[in-house]
A = this chain, B = another copy of it.
Amino acid sequence: MAEANRQIVLDRLPAGDKLGPQHFRLTEGPRPSAGEGEALLRTRYISLDAANRAWMQGATYRSALESGQVMAGGALAEVLETHVPHLKPGDLVFADTGWQDYAVLPAKRLRKLPAMEPVTHLMSVYGIAGLTAYFGLLECGRPKAGDTVVISAAAGAVGSIVGQIARIKGCKVVGVAGGAEKGRWLVEELGFDVALDYKAGGLRQQMKEAAPEGIDVYFDNTGGEIFETCLFAMKAFGRIACCGAVSQYDGAAPPHGPRGVPGLIVTKRLTLRGFVVMDFDDQREAALNELQAWVASGQLKVQEDIIEGLENTPAALIGLLNGENRGKRMVKVR
């Protein structure tokens, strides 16, 4: 049976405005089939990431998105049909299927994922979010026990794991998130020492009280004002892990960067390091083993935010950019 392939197309790129439902449209095409060296995949869970929005702004670590293409995005997908030896029907893979029911991709770079219950953990703690948190904090932030670690977008998929790993490593953990409720969750459920509410104003003063001796490691997911506040609050020889700049993605490019650059980088002798999780592929297995041990022992809690239905994917991304989610947001397609 030639089942239809529902697709969400990026109808037009936002031009300096905030992302809205008007930028997308749902369409249907025929279900594709796999040629030589290819695999036909059925999308099961689509990953929602702030980076999806950044891809619309221009070339990043991937080329820029274009109007009229199926919206790009990573997903947990099941192999339906393939003719390569390293994959068979039923295998799960993580792939850039885009926002659609079915996708055909070159099979060569697809890697079979282990069986696991719940499979959604392959998208959160054992997926890009968990590995990003792990490598960004440990390789770029290099925290020592007793260090004060500050995390922005602390209630998000990456931030909520960064804070817990920092706690496991014996650090004092300060999370910055929007709203008192998220803050309570970070402290009461995830064991953060302090949560700061950037929406409440006076972040600089809040930071002074939370980290009176300054910040050793800042894990930056937001850029913008929170970055600037932390830059001024860094200790000498502090490290900033630059993971993302979500405050800058949804709208026009900001006319200026944060103050204090590069003056404070010099006088405080800071190290800033930008990274993308793929840079650490060679250490992936060891990281997954450590994450699994923390989850098994209950030291690391996994928070997932699962929305049903392919048709709801645009709203799920728009909501994520507005800070709706706690933990890893994904859309269950089937």
Contacts and interface: CB of A to CB of B under 8 A. Distances in A.
A259 interface: yes
B275 A269 contact: yes
A220 interface: yes
A202 interface: no
Interface stretch (A32-40, A118-126, A239-247): A239-247
Q: Within the oligomer, what is the number of copies of this chain?
A: 2
B223 A262 contact: yes
Contact of A266 (B244, B260, B262): B244
Interface in A258-285: 258-276, 279
Contacts of A261: 223, 227, 257-258, 261
A274 B256 contact: no
A289 interface: no
Interface residues of A, number: 38
Nearest to A253: B259
A288 to B, nearest CB: 22
A266 B257 contact: no
A268 B262 CA distance: 17
Q: Which 3 A-B pairs give the minimum distances between C-beta atoms?
A: A256-B256, A257-B261, A265-B274
Interface of A: 54, 60-61, 220, 223, 227-228, 240, 242-245, 248, 253-276, 279
